[in-house]
Chains A and B, each alone.
Chain A
Amino acid sequence: MKTRKVLYIEDDREIGSWVQEELEQRGYAVTWLLTGDGAEREVPGHDVVILDIMLPGLDGFTVGQRLKKAAPSVPIMLLSARTAVEDKLQGLQFADDYVTKPFHPDELAARVEVLLRRSGAAMPERLKLGQHILVDLADQTVLDERSGEEVVLTGKQFQILMYFLRHPNRILTKEQIYEAVWGEPYLDGDKALMVHIRHLREKLEQDPGAPEIIETIRGIGYRIRR
């Protein structure tokens, strides 16, 4: 997998050097800037931006908006000690995530991964699910390794599977999955998602009655572990 590039803008040297070190140890290439000056020129070559709000000169809100204009596809994470709802709302108008200090390095790395996955920069080309299913994301195919045959999924089944793969290890509620895949509000009593998940299990699981790939969390939702 290619090295993911992070553009990190932080004026506090203690925090900046620590975060740079943490991310580099996790395999990211980090470009650390002390101010937002020149960030617009830097951003096109990067996969994700981590941006502090309280910066000398132009503040993080202004810098972030300019970066989004310069490179709309690059996700931006705001990293700030400002916790007021107004700040979060203002930031999330252009940013993709908002993390408050004092953050934990593992949480920061996990959130960076989520942003990269959402933007497609962190998805590996091939994923193994359970003991026998191989998902080729480049070809958009699902292979049963036991038989070597392709598992044919319908459009909705593939979209549901992809949504799970973009949010691995997270519990996804039925409403959340339905609204993300169908693109419309979930209505009480709609069984369409459950029917699709049942068919998906029949195609993917060794024993659909005791699923190992798509886990059911009773009363809450579903999860795919990776």
Chain B
Amino acid sequence: MKRVGSPFRRYLQVHFLLAALLPILLLFTAVGVAPSRGHADAETLKHLRNTFVIVGFVVAAFIAVSWIFFYRLRKRLVRLQEAMAVSSEGSGLPKPVSVRTDRLDEIGRLEASFNRMIRQLEDSRRREQEEESLRRRLIANLSHDLRTPLTAIRGHAARLRKEPLSPEGRGSLEAMDLTITHAGDLIDDLLSYTLLTSGKYPYRPEPTDLVRLVRSAAAAWYPAFESAGFRIEAELPEESGLVWEVDPQWMRRVLDNLFQNIHRHARDGRYIGIAVNVEREELAIEDNGPGLGGPSEDRGAGIGLSIALYMLKEMKLQALFESGENGTTVRIIKI
């Protein structure tokens, strides 16, 4: 890269010249004034005046050069600072700045380095997006490719169920059916978690009537809890008055995951309590199961709960768990 004179160096040169010229100038002026002792006073005054004019001119020139230097320097630095601060549309990265090839001084080289860094970041971002897209496609395809054979297995199991079987055989078929359901849920959770953590799960917050949303979710889950022998208590006020700025789809997913956890892991307790406290701005879901650390026939990796917690955090909500041997209560509140 061609290097041109540094503005600092030029500035220092000007300073050196002025610093060297000023004493010489003053010396010549003094010599010019001294022999004139016998001349008229007017001649001396003329010399002095000329001296002051010259010194004044040099000082003024020095100030002007300094001002121009700092003005141009500041202008270029501000331009670079603005370019660093403003991100271009979509990418979130600053736009490159234009660099004059005939001005590759320190600031010019800084601008070139900045542009190089932006290009590297853009490349890195593009590679990351490509990898993310590939990962999403892979998981979506994997999800599809796993679900299809699972359906076929369920079909065969359903056919077998219609054949005369021993009690052990029937038990195995039921276990197989349950495992297929859980495997399907796990695949779905894995896909959702991948989309969520990569920021690709559509999030559309809006003012949402919490009581109405909870009532609707409870109504959908009621038959499932009822057929599993749960006692269901819903303390949901007739009139709501509690509106949260959340994505209703996300909130519904959170509730579905929490209800599903209770339906699966807290069956022994046979109790679910759902309550919205408008004054405390709190949603509480309670069960009498063996607690979060308790044994369960089909405990998985807890990805469903991880999804719920992640979504709550994104919606600026918090889940507080109180869990013991006699049950679990989860309270959802605003952060």
Contact = CB atoms under 8 A, between A and B. Distances in A.
Nearest to B183: A102
29 contacts: A14-B155, A15-B148, A18-B152, A18-B159, A21-B159, A81-B147, A82-B140, A82-B143, A83-B147, A83-B191, A84-B140, A101-B147, A101-B151, A102-B153, A102-B183, A169-B223, A171-B222, A171-B223, A173-B219, A175-B212, A175-B216, A188-B241, A189-B239, A217-B234, A218-B234, A219-B233, A219-B234, A219-B236, A220-B222
Task: Name B's interface SS.
Answer: helix
B254 to A, nearest CB: 15
B154 A188 contact: no
Contacts of A219: 215, 218, 233-236, 274
Interface of B: 140, 143-145, 147-148, 150-156, 158-159, 177, 180-181, 183-184, 187-188, 191, 195, 201-202, 209, 212, 215-216, 218-220, 222-223, 233-236, 239-241, 274
Contact of B219 (A82, A84, A103, A217): A217
B143 A83 contact: yes
Contact of A102 (B150, B235, B240): B150
Task: Name A's interface SS.
Answer: loop
Contact of A81 (B148, B216, B234): B148
A105 B148 contact: no
Nearest to B152: A14
A176 B209 CA distance: 14
A173 B159 contact: no
Interface in A80-103: 81-85, 100-103
Given A15-B155, A104-B181, A175 B215 contact: yes
Nearest to A171: B219
Given A83-B188, A85-B201, A219-B234, A173 B215 contact: yes
A128 to B, nearest CB: 21
Contacts of A103: 151, 154
B230 to A, nearest CB: 13
Given A12-B152, A82-B140, A84-B140, A102 B158 contact: no
A54 interface: yes
A22 to B, nearest CB: 7
Contacts of B180: 102
